[in-house]
């Protein structure tokens, strides 16, 4: 692995990669659908939209919704996620150690998430992880994953090349976004998607725990 020393930037997805929020997202989406009298999606169907911004997520789950219903569902989902749903969203075991290690080794660290800016900033503050990251991109600042736009914007702002960058994520969308941006990717199999699904986009590696990332970055 002699090329490893060339890496300068590690970009992390948030939900299902840094924060253990998958079950909370699933429950919130199912409750919102129930309130809006839409067909309640299965757990796996919701897992498959994690990483998308809300409008394309709704379209994948419910088909084409009217603008009014899209707004209603956005409101319901955010209410459920923020207020009603009390399931914990802890940080995955080992993530803080991984970030600490990478930071101390001089890596630039960034986040690329399907969350809103308001949502990410709130969780970064609550989790106490904000100080690790040099830059962040959210769904309201770029095209939704798997568009490469989030990664490309981060590379430009941080002055880093594609070949010096790695994307870490738990969803096939993260792997496809990395491929579209021509950066290498590592899949984590403890979030939304199984190793079988992640391997469909040929990541450099698939790991089953945060600490295992240090073998590849």
Q: Looking at the annotation, which residues are catalytic?
A: 13, 15
Cα separation of 136 and 12, whole Å?
A: 9
Residue 115 main-chain phi, psi, to 5 deg? -70, 165
Write phi, then psi, for 142 (nearest 5 degrees): -160, 170
Are 151 and 167 in contact by the 8 Å Cβ rule? The answer is yes
Q: Which residues contact residue 5 at a Cβ distance below 8 angstroms, ignoring those fewer than 6 apart?
A: none
Helices (H), 80-211: 95-104, 117-127, 149-158, 172-180, 195-198
Q: How far is CA 69 from CA 60, 74, 77, 79, 143, in A?
A: 14, 8, 12, 15, 21
d(CA 217, CA 213): 6
């Amino acid at each position: 692995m002699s090329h490893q020393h060339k890496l300068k930037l590690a970009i992390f997805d948030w939900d299902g990669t840094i924060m253990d929020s998958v079950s909370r997202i699933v429950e919130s989406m199912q409750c919102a659908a129930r309130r809006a009298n839409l067909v309640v999606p299965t757990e796996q169907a919701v897992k498959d939209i994690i990483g998308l911004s809300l409008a394309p997520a709704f379209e994948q789950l419910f088909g084409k919704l009217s603008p009014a219903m899209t707004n209603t569902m956005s409101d319901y989902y955010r209410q459920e996620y923020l207020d009603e749903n009390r399931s914990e969203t802890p940080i995955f075991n080992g993530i803080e150690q991984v970030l600490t290690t990478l930071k101390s080794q001089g890596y630039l660290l960034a986040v690329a998430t399907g969350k809103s800016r308001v949502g990410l900033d709130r969780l970064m503050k609550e989790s106490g992880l904000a100080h690790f990251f040099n830059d962040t991109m959210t769904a309201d600042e770029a095209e939704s994953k798997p568009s490469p736009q989030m990664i490309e914007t981060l590379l430009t702002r941080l002055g880093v090349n594609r070949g010096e960058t790695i994307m870490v994520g738990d969803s096939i969308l993260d792997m496809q976004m990395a491929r579209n941006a021509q950066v290498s990717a590592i899949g984590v199999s403890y979030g939304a998607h199984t190793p079988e699904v992640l391997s469909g986009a040929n990541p450099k590696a698939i790991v089953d725990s945060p600490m295992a990332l240090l073998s590849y970055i």
